């Protein structure tokens, strides 16, 4: 792992009555980010199937938390029609906020 990367996580409540909520209770989204550009290099989340996890990863990896948050949210809204959609977006917003706070607190970036 490069020294200019940081891992960020965001958590959100899952809709009750879903398989994911029965397994995990909350949805965790974890990303590895290139600090300088804000680019998501890796992503994992706790959803009930590997297919859904891979799909979310493909929507996020390569996008920037600095400049592509609106695009990522639009992609999730348009292309992820599972019940965890709002949870994924909530967790992603939390991560974006954490990233921006972290970068602001480390002015050398």
Q: Which residue has the higher pLDDT, 64 or 48?
A: 64
CB-side neighbour CA atoms (13 Å) of 83:
12
Q: What is the per-residue pLDDT for 23?
A: 72
Assign 29 a pLDDT band (cuts: 50, 70, 90). very high
Q: pTM for this structure?
A: 0.89
Give the phi and the psi of residue 61 in degrees, each rounded to 5: -65, 135
DSSP 48: S
With 60 as the cut, is the pLDDT of residue 58 above it? yes
* CATH code for the domain in which residue 30 is found: 3.90.1010.10
Give the residue among 95, 77, 91 at the shortest CA–CA distance from 24. Answer: 91
User: Distances from the Cα of 54 to the Cαs of 3, 18, 60, 98, in angstroms?
Assistant: 26, 19, 10, 23
Q: Looking at residue 108, what is its pLDDT?
A: 57
Domain of residue 92 covers 5-105
Query: What integer pLDDT is reported at residue 107 of this predicted model?
Result: 59
Residue 95: band (very low, low, confident or very high) from pLDDT cuts 50, 70, 90: very high
Residues 54, 97: Cα–Cα separation, whole Å: 23
- % of residues, the chain, pLDDT over 70: 91
When divided into structural domains, the chain yields a total of 1
Supply the mean pLDDT for the chain.
91
């Amino acid at each position: 792992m490069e020294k200019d990367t940081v891992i960020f996580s965001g958590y959100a409540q899952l809709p009750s009555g879903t398989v994911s909520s029965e397994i995990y209770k909350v949805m965790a989204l974890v990303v590895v980010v290139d600090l300088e550009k804000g680019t998501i290099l890796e992503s994992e989340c706790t959803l009930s199937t590997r297919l859904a996890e891979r799909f979310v990863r493909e929507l996020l990896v390569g996008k920037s938390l600095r400049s592509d948050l609106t695009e990522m949210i639009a992609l999730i809204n348009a292309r992820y029609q599972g019940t965890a959609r709002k949870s994924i977006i909530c967790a992603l917003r939390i991560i974006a906020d954490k990233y921006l706070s972290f970068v602001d607190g480390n002015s050398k970036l």
